[in-house]
Amino acid sequence: MNVPQIRMQSISAQISIHTNKAEQSIQQPKAELSIEQPKATLHIETTPSRLTIDQTEAWADMDLKHVSRRIQEAVEKGKQDILEGISRRVQEGEQLKRIENGGNPISEISRSRSGKPPQPINIRFIPSTGSVKIQYEPAKVNIEVQENKPKIEVDINKPIIDFTPGTVEVELERYNDLQIDFVEGKKGIE
């Protein structure tokens, strides 16, 4: 028996794709910047220094005293001399009152009053140390600063963007094809 055969031969379709890339360019212009810095306000207040020199005691050490001071010292010395005189007379009176106890109080009193006590020998610096009084008040400086903030102005420029979109081209380069053949078969074994 003859069995017919079917032969099929197919060719696939083939497409071609061509692409053009997209192009993009971006430019960013610089921003425009304006800065203004006002000067700071400065206020300086100064209290002057003060120097005080008191030479009163130095002049007194050199015996160059003011009249009022000499009068005051004479008054003080007079009071002291009066008190010393009263004290001495009371003491001498006490010695004479006890004359019966023995001794010779009159000669002792006259001996103590007849001679001056010896003056001590000593070196004296004129004027004495510390007799000039110095007082100093330093100057005072008060500084006030008022800052002024800077004035900043910024104009922003927008970016310049240029864009060309890409393209895709698709073409059918070869069509598909299907061929079918009928072939008579070979005789088989009977």
Does 174 reside within a domain? no
Average pLDDT over residues 111-129: 76
Average pLDDT over residues 79-99: 88
Number of domains in the chain: 2
Does 79 reside within a domain? yes
What pLDDT is recorded for position 185? 65
**How remote is the C-alpha of 136 from its chain's centroid?**
28
Cis geometry, peptide bond prior to residue 150 (ω within 30 degrees of 0): no
Residue 189 pLDDT > 60: no
Name residue 94's amino acid. E
Residue 87 shares a structural domain with residue 100? yes
Residue 155 pLDDT > 70: yes
Q: For residue 127, is it left (φ>0), alpha (ψ between -120 and 50) or beta?
A: beta
SS3 of the chain: helix, strand, coil, percent, to 5? 25, 40, 35
Does 1 reside within a domain? no
Whether the CB-CB separation of 22 and 163 falls below 8 Å is answered with yes
H or E element, residue 18? strand 14-20
Does 98 reside within a domain? yes
Tokens of 126: 């004129």
What's the pTM value of the predicted model, to 2 decimals?
Answer: 0.38
Residue 108 shares a structural domain with residue 132? no
Cα angle vertex 12, ends 10, 14, to 5°? 155
Compute and round to an integer the Cα radius of gyration of the chain.
66
Whether the CB-CB separation of 173 and 11 falls below 8 Å is answered with no
Does 53 reside within a domain? yes
Residue 69 shares a structural domain with residue 98? yes
The model's pLDDT over 29-62, given as tens digits with 9 standing for 90+, comes to 999 999 999 999 999 999 999 999 998 888 888 8
Please state, in angstroms and rounded to a whole number, the distance separating the CA atoms of residues 158 and 161: 9
Does 151 reside within a domain? no
Please state, in angstroms and rounded to a whole number, the distance separating the CA atoms of residues 22 and 16: 19
Residue 55 shares a structural domain with residue 75? no
Range of the domain at 132: 40-61+126-144
Residue 44 shares a structural domain with residue 67? no
What pLDDT is recorded for position 37? 92
Does 47 reside within a domain? yes
Tokens of 97: 């009152």
Residue 52 shares a structural domain with residue 78? no
Residue 54 shares a structural domain with residue 82? no
